[in-house]
Structure 1
Amino acid sequence: MVFVLSNSQPAFQSGLRSSELQSLHKRRRYELLASYRGTSFAETQNLCLSASKPDKSRQIQPFEEPSVLFKTAASVDTSGGLTSISSKNSSVLQANRQDQRYKTLARYRGISLVEKRQTSSVQLQDTPRIQLLGKRKRLSDVDHENSDFPSAAKRLRLSEGTPQQKRPTMIRLKGRRKGTDSGPKSVSEPPKTASTIKSEQPRTPVIWIIGSSYIRRGEEAAQRQFGTNFGLRAKVQWFGKGGMRWGGVLPRFYSEAPTHGPPDILVVHAGGNDLGLVSPVELASQIQKDLSHLHKDFPEMRIAFSAINERQSWRYGRPGRINSNRKQVNSLLRRAVRSFGGLVIEHPELRFFNNTLFLPDRVHFSKRGNSLFLGSIHSVLEKILAQRCNT
């Protein structure tokens, strides 16, 4: 026979007598006790029947939690009804409690369950219990001094009779707060090794040169004229691309920065391919905005803008009109870069009417033109490095 209880109907309408309901509740109770203790249903029923009659004033409902059933079983054990329970069941209960305690302590101490089981029994017994109510607390946040359960390390020190060591005084190496002692404090310095001596030496400056085809062609010419690293006591890296407009400078910089790291000195030669496509005021404003953005992101980086050089031929307009726009852009940037401590590299010797400075395409430099172009950049970089050494 199967009985179905509905929450929407009273007990007298379901056709069940009170004795049948009580037997159903009792059976449900035996099932929960059996599942919680890990014993069979028949064994649990025999143990409960052999025990003394429990207090009927309190009935265990089917929806109660296993913790409530565990407390009920404990009350029956103290009454003497289940004193005949086997040592096997008692050991199972004790093992379950201990395993649950291991899991809780391991989770809040940040170690694995196997490591926690391998700890000493003294440390486990001396660890205070924590009630996980509200916000979760760490064991390190428990006040062992005011607690009735002192920590294991403290109890071991008290048992051995060794005095407690004071915590070492923290020393601020950079600055000192107001109100602190100004007396001499001894700091033990580790012995210097070869690696520490090497790290104390000044770091080699890093220089990036980003630009259009003038930079791409100038890298090979600089190798022949000045040697490696532009003949400077620094690490020079060239990032040139033919036809680069100003809009490609920042993407190239931020694409190389995660790999190589930001440089100490940045030289940019670009913007000439934009003349004729945008107005000189708009181009100068965009260059100033992007260079200021770089200075804001990397304030320790020195920025040098290489002025737009003259050409014999321009792609997007007549040479006279484009040359006038070029002068206007360079003039605006001379004043703009001073706002963030930058500078402009001038190329006064590169004049468009000197045919010996240009190739037959009337745009790129010849060997002599590259020598003058790179010489201007080299002399400015030498001055910047000298200022860094003096400071």
Structure 2
Amino acid sequence: MPKVKKGQTEGTKGPKNKRKRTEKTRDMGTSSAQAESLSEEVPQMMAPVSLHGDAAPGAPGGLDAASIPDMCQISAIACLAHQDMALLKGLDKQDLNHSPPPDQLSNSQGLRCSVWIVGSSIVRNAGIAALSRPGGQGLGLQTKGIDIWWQGYGGLRFVDLACKLRWLAQFENPPNLIVIHCGANDIGQVKTQKLLDRVRWDLRLLASIFPNTKLVWSFLLPRVAWRYSKNVRVMEQTRNRVNRAAAKEILGCGGRLLRHTQFLGKPKQLYSRDGVHLSGLGNDIYLNNLQSK
């Protein structure tokens, strides 16, 4: 066997060792890059998620459910109207199927959520009552990244709602959520079928005007007395029909529902003397419902 010179042996082994060291260095560089990538991903995964739509139940800023008098709850449950219960049962399944869970309204980028609460004197009075509560008109949700803009107008009718929202959009950017509590003032002034058609049409229109905004329908409250008719039973039937039509449209466009079941049965302590507006306790309950939603 021919002898291999020492220089040739060292020359042959040199490149091999160099290739091994190069591959090892490359592997170490890859592992280092992966480690750096992982270190960047971990803080993002562990970053706190800020609320973007729904406030957590029990948030500060109002009365808790436990503070409502027991007699009020008993009265409300004992006097539940048959039509109201039928309406709620009919919508429960749809609400669960179409309403997004609260975490879908949150964002992980720390952006603030803008909420408009628009409606008639019920909204106006609730906004005024919120001034004297802990958390103020923000309902204590400012720390959750939620900013509320109260827009309550006494006597506002649903037929004027779309124009009002278009007007408001001239002064503020489109919000993340619009809570609508409007329509009771139309009952008795506008023919029922015409009102139902208008509710369906205008809610679809609003969904197209505010494509990136989630609409929330706040159920019209029962009334002890109605201004435009003494036939309370017929007026309540119309109110239920309006709520049913609005709820169907809202769910169809990916919106949400805000119910106020404490007012079923019309507990007297929740209403003012006129039987239309809410008492101090009624306003507190209404605000609690908004806060927990």
TM-score, normalised on structure 1? Answer: 0.44
1:37-63 Cα deviation digits (max 9, x unpaired) = xxxxxxxxxxxxxxxxxxxxxxxxxxx
Structure 1 residue 225 corresponds to structure 2 residue 133: yes
Query: Residues 379 and 365 from structure 1, CA distance in 2 versus in 1: closer, same or farther, beyond 3 angstroms?
Result: same
Matched residue type, 1:360: R
- For 2:215, the aligned partner's letter is I
CA deviation digits over 1:210-254, x for unaligned, max 9?
100011110022233351312213110001111111122112211
Task: Give the partner amino acid of 1:322.
Answer: M
Describe the shift of the 1:243–1:352 C-alpha distance in structure 2 as closer, same or farther (beyond 3 A): farther
Q: Distance in 2 between matches of 1:282 and 1:378?
A: 33
Aligned-partner residue type, residue 171 of structure 2: T
Q: Distance in 1 between matches of 2:134 and 2:201?
A: 33
Is residue 312–residue 352 contact of structure 1 (8 Å, CA) maintained in 2?
no
Match of 1:342 in 2: 255
Question: Is 1:261 matched up with 2:170?
Answer: no
Aligned counterparts of 2:200 and 2:135: Cα–Cα separation in 1: 33
How far did residue 205 of structure 1 move? 0.8
Tell me the residue number matched to 1:202. 110
1:338 Cα deviation (Å)? 1.8
Query: Mapping of 1:309-328 within 5 angstroms?
Result: 309-317=221-229, 318-328=231-241
**Pairwise CA distance, 1:296:** 1.2
Q: Equivalent residue for 1:163?
A: none
How many Å apart are 1:256 and its aligned residue? 1.5
Give the paired residue count: 181
Q: Would you say 1:366 and 2:274 are equivalent positions?
A: no
Q: 1:226 to 1:289 in 2, by over 3 A?
A: farther
State how 1:91-240 maps to structure 2 within 5 Å: 202-228=110-136, 229-232=138-141, 233=144, 234-240=146-152
Q: In the alignment, is the contact (CA less than 8 A) between 2:187 and 2:235 conserved in 1?
A: yes
| Counterpart AA for 1:351 | L
Alignment of 1:265-280 (within 5 A): 265-280=177-192
- Paired with 1:319 and 1:280, the residues of 2 have a C-alpha distance of 15
CA distance in structure 2 between the aligned counterparts of 1:343 and 1:203, rounded to whole angstroms? 21
Q: Does 1:376 pair with 2:284?
A: no
Larger Rg computed on CA atoms? 1
Give the stretch that moved more between structures: 296-305 or 332-341.
Answer: 332-341
Whether 1:307 aligns to 2:219 is yes
Whether 1:248 aligns to 2:160 is yes
1:263–1:301: 8 Å Cα contact kept in structure 2? yes
Distance across 2 between alignment mates of 1:208 and 1:325:
26
Normalising by structure 2, we get a TM-score of: 0.58
Distance 1:300 1:351 in 2: 33
* Alpha-carbon distance in structure 1 between the residues aligned to 2:259 and 2:192: 18
Question: What SS does the corresponding residue of 1:368 show, helix, strand or coil?
Answer: helix
Match of 2:38 in 1: none
**Shift in Å at residue 278 of structure 1?**
2.3
Aligned to 1:290: 202
Q: 1:299 to 1:226 in 2, by over 3 A?
A: farther
How big is the shift at 1:332? Answer: 2.2
Aligned-partner Cα distance in 2 for 1:224–1:255: 29
C-alpha deviation, 1:201, in angstroms? 5.2
Query: Does the C-alpha gap of structure 1 residues 353 and 297 become closer, same or farther in structure 2, counting only changes over 3 Å?
Result: closer
Q: Which amino acid aligns with 2:203?
A: L
CA distance in 2 between counterparts of 1:337 and 1:245 reads 18
Mapped partners of 2:249, 2:109: distance in 1: 36
- Give the 3-state SS of the residue equivalent to 2:129 in structure 1: helix
Does structure 1 retain, via aligned residues, the 8 Å contact 2:226–2:235? yes
Q: Any idea what the Cα deviations from partners look like across 1:194-220, whole Å, max 9, x if unmatched?
A: xxxxxx953211100010001111002
Amino acid of the residue matched to residue 303 of structure 1?
L
Whether the aligned pair in 2 keeps the contact of 1:276 and 1:316 (CA below 8 Å) is yes
What secondary structure is seen at the aligned counterpart in 2 of 1:295? helix
List gaps (5 residues or longer) in structure 2.
1-107
Aligned-pair distance for 1:313? 0.8
The answer (yes or no) to whether the contact 2:204–2:249 under 8 Å persists in 1 is no
Cα displacement (A) at 1:273: 0.5
Secondary structure of the residue aligned to 1:238 is: strand
Percent identical pairs in the alignment equals 29
3-state DSSP of counterpart to 2:125 = helix
Amino acid at match of 2:250: V
Report runs of 4+ in structure 1 exceeding 6 Å deviation.
Answer: none
Greater displacement, 211-220 / 253-262: 253-262
The one-letter code matched in structure 2 to 1:343 is R
Corresponding letter in the other structure for 1:365: L
Relative contact order, higher structure (CA 8 A, sep 6+): 2
